[in-house]
Amino acid sequence: MTAKTPYDPSEDGAQMRFDGRMSYGDYLSLDKILTAQAPLSKADDELLFIIQHQTSELWMKLALHELASAKAHIASGNVQPAFKLLTRVARIFEQLNSAWDVLRTMTPSDYTTFRAALGQSSGFQSFQYRAIEFMAGNKNAAMMRPHEHVPEVHGWLEGIRQETSLYDEAIRLLARSGFEISDAMLNRDVSEPYAADETVRAAWIEVYRDPARYWTLYELAEKLVDFEDYFRRWRFNHVTTVERVIGFKRGTGGTSGVVYLRRMLEVVLFPELWDLRADL
């Protein structure tokens, strides 16, 4: 039987030499990405732990990029492009949710072999996660303190805290669309955590009672709910993963661990959009 000649992609025009030209690895800076993992112990599972968190931060970077663009579109009144961006953010959190399944293959015994090497570092200190919360409207000034030691990061977060949130812009869009939103809401201190408002609730209820008339606002509302839905699932999976691995021990960053994370499950980003469902 005659052996087949191995396939040579260059015969079909594939580029095979990259001396002086940009390659896949060059474009993606893989030399930086793939050498950014520096385990501090000899434990096999530490590499999993590092990659899980590094890739999560990359997805969060994209989520922040898309949220900022969506907010800008809503603020300008060009709402339709925001729908695609918010859908993408929801799918990013779906991806982040799937990542917990990989981390959960690490047993409590596995984690104890390198936990001490983490020192006081903790996901609680993720400034990108905090930025996502701030951009969505959950602004808690106390959460700025873990970042005071890095002035650039602290200043960046403070800038986001002082800006309108994604939800603030959605509410302002309601007002521009003719709905009666209270002056107290429209002129509130946007650096403070968002609190539910009866005029906002009434406006969204009217939108949901007549979707055909207010289709753009109705679709925006559902995109916001979709985003928060996946965001909540991510927080829930975080809680269950931590409980599975360390039980009710304190977190490496000093938080109460599972107890703290469960408290975060009670935070609602867009309260009126959830509450109105009982009124329809």
CB 190 within 8 A of CB 164: yes
Tell whether 50 is in a known binding site: yes
Q: For CA atoms 131, 135, 140, 144, give the dihedral sign.
A: positive
65 assigned to a ligand binding site: no
- Report the residue count for the chain: 280
Distance CA 217, CA 50 (A): 41
Is 171 annotated to bind ligand? no
For residues 230 and 64, what is the distance between their CA atoms, to the nearest angstrom? 15
One-letter amino acid identity for 196? A
Q: Is 24 annotated as a binding residue?
A: no
Residue 73 annotated as binding? no
Residue 181 annotated as binding? no
Indicate the DSSP class of residue 107: -
- Torsion (CA) 95, 101, 104, 106 in degrees, nearest 10: -90
Residue 229's identity, in one-letter code, is: D
Contacts of 82 (CB under 8 A, 6+ apart): 69, 70, 71, 73, 74, 220, 223
Task: Give the Cα separation of 197 and 182 in Å (integer).
Answer: 8
Is 167 part of any known ligand binding site?
no
**Is 111 annotated as belonging to a binding site?**
yes
Are 82 and 220 spatial neighbours (Cβ–Cβ below 8 Å)? yes
CA distances from 95 to 54, 122, 126 (A): 14, 21, 18
The response to whether 214 counts as a known ligand-binding position is: no
Binding annotation: 49-53, 111, 115, 238, 252
Binding annotation for substrate: 49-53, 111, 115, 252
Binding annotation for heme: 238
